[in-house]
Amino acid sequence: MSQPDPHALTDAAPISAPLALDPIADPAADPCSLSVVIPLFEEADNVAPLVQRVHDGLAGFRHPWELILVDDGSRDGTGDRLQDAAEHYGSHVRVIRFRRNYGQTAAMQAGFDAARGHLVASLDGDLQNDPADIPRMVEELVNRDLDLLQGWRRHRQDALVKRKLPSRIANALIGRVTGVELHDYGCSLKVYRAEIIKEVRLFGEMHRFIPVWVAGITDPARIGETEVSHRAREHGESKYGISRTFRVLLDLLVAFFFLRYGARPGHFFGAIGLGFGAIGGLMMSWLFIIKFALGEDIGQRPMLFVGILFLVASAQFLTTGLLAEVLARTFFASGERTHHCIRWQSDPVRAGWKTAS
């Protein structure tokens, strides 16, 4: 007896016949043309229902759209199923496959770089976000004249301790530190203006802070949020847990530094160095007066050693600031850099667009 194909699309959910493409002379000229970016890692069982739901959710969308699926180095057959889906649905479904796992941030950056639409939507590949929310979010973004519309999972279908509690702590910390207060930073369902999101370069695990990075480019008043539906995970396992809170703390420090001092790191290190230098200078000045005006012995005073320590630390911070300024200028002069390597992607020249029938 022949064995079933492990990459067949019919094992997870039935797929209807692909919709016909409407002949449009220049779809990219439409100001509401949309690129939907979905990063996936080890989500083989979710590929078929995910692609089907995207098509169902955008069936009535009256503007050209494309679907960009990014396989983040999965080893469970996710990449093969994505390519099967692209062949089944047509050239508007584009696939990017990484050679290894680089993380969700890198996958989202690759999708943003490949997007051709004037608007970009992103969502997770775990079926918890509902693609049917995207048309409404696009309309709301345009009507409210926003650059970013963030989804808010108000009725989140996740475990309280493992997912909800860490998320609430992280959202509160990010809002307080950055000043960009949103209810749900962790929701991947977002709609952006492509001209804005393409100005943001994502590294590490900075996808959690996309609204913060966007606020560094555009007016925070042009960042909004809207309630979106949320479903319980149907297949696979979550890649996040309560340990994420501690990583968020570290990433938050990095985000704060880059937002405030990314283009002028010398000001950050220089301010600390000048502060230490002022403290050390006052200590040494006081000891100078005691030594030469009052004639007292200062050789065994703890203040002498503390003052020297502050002066040495001051010199180190000041020189670090100068080196950071040199590195920052070198970085900005060297052009854009990415830290991911693409294994394969759909040909963007042959890629098409999807419109409602």
**pLDDT: which is higher, 211 or 120:** 120
Averaged pLDDT, 28-53: 91
Percent of the chain at pLDDT exceeding 90: 43
Element (H, E) at 108: helix 104-114
**φ and ψ at residue 285, rounded to 5 degrees:** -65, -45
pLDDT at residue 8, rounded to an integer: 43
From residue 226, alpha-carbon distances to 95, 150, 152, 217 in Å are 29, 6, 6, 21
pLDDT at residue 1, rounded to an integer: 44
pLDDT at residue 242, rounded to an integer: 53
pLDDT at residue 159, rounded to an integer: 57
**pLDDT: which is higher, 167 or 304:** 304
Question: For residue 136, which of 125, 147, 121, 126 has the smallest C-alpha distance?
Answer: 121
Question: pLDDT confidence of 92, banded at 50, 70, 90?
Answer: very high
- The contacts found for 18-22 with CB under 8 angstroms, 24 or more apart, are 18/88, 18/89, 18/90, 19/55, 19/59, 19/354, 19/357, 20/357, 21/90, 21/92, 21/352, 21/353, 21/354, 21/355, 22/355, 22/356, 22/357
Q: What is the pLDDT of residues 296-329, one digit of tens each?
A: 888 888 899 999 999 999 999 999 989 988 887 7
Q: What is the pLDDT of residues 240-292, one digit of tens each?
A: 555 566 666 777 777 777 777 777 888 889 999 999 999 999 999 999 998 88
**pLDDT: which is higher, 354 or 105:** 105
- Number of H helices and number of E strands within the chain? 10, 8
As a whole number, the mean pLDDT across the chain is 81
Percent of the chain at pLDDT exceeding 70: 78
Specify the amino acid at residue 335. G
Domain ranges of the chain: 9-260, 265-333
CATH superfamily of the domain spanning 9-260: Spore Coat Polysaccharide Biosynthesis Protein SpsA; Chain A (3.90.550.10)
From residue 239, alpha-carbon distances to 42, 52, 126, 193 in Å are 9, 23, 10, 28
pLDDT at residue 187, rounded to an integer: 85
**Residue 330 above 70 pLDDT?**
yes
pLDDT at residue 336, rounded to an integer: 56
**φ and ψ at residue 155, rounded to 5 degrees:** -110, 70
